[in-house]
Amino acid sequence: MNVTNMTSSNGNKIANQFIVTDLGFKYFQSYRSMIVKIDLHNTYLDKKYWNFSNTTSKYRNKFLNETTKETIAKIKSGEYKLVDLNGIDNTSNGKVS
């Protein structure tokens, strides 16, 4: 497993924003929450935390190399799947409006 901080546009490490790689999987973690999981075939977003805050969204966008609007379109089209990546969410229905 390899964990690295995300970096700013001028190369500084960003606290609490991480890229994790492990056995062919790539993850984006914000603070203690997994936000995105990418494997060879699919991209998964945590249904509760994928759009939790402005900071999470900013670095999720950087990780996915797209805007929030593009992410929403991919969720609606089924290209991205909303799942419980943190094993704690029993409240969100995972729908995007």
CB half-sphere exposure, 17, CA atoms < 13 A = 18
In order of 15, 41, 80, 83, the CA distances from 77 in angstroms are 33, 15, 8, 15
pLDDT band at 9 (very low <50, low <70, confident <90, very high): confident
The pLDDT score that the predictor gives to residue 64 is: 98
pLDDT tens track for 24-56: 899 999 999 999 999 999 999 999 999 999 999
More confidently predicted of 89 and 34: 34
pLDDT tens track for 56-79: 999 999 999 999 999 999 999 999
The pLDDT score that the predictor gives to residue 93 is: 53
- Please enumerate in sequence order all residues whose Cβ is within 8 A of that of 93, keeping only pairs 6 or more positions apart, or say none: 47
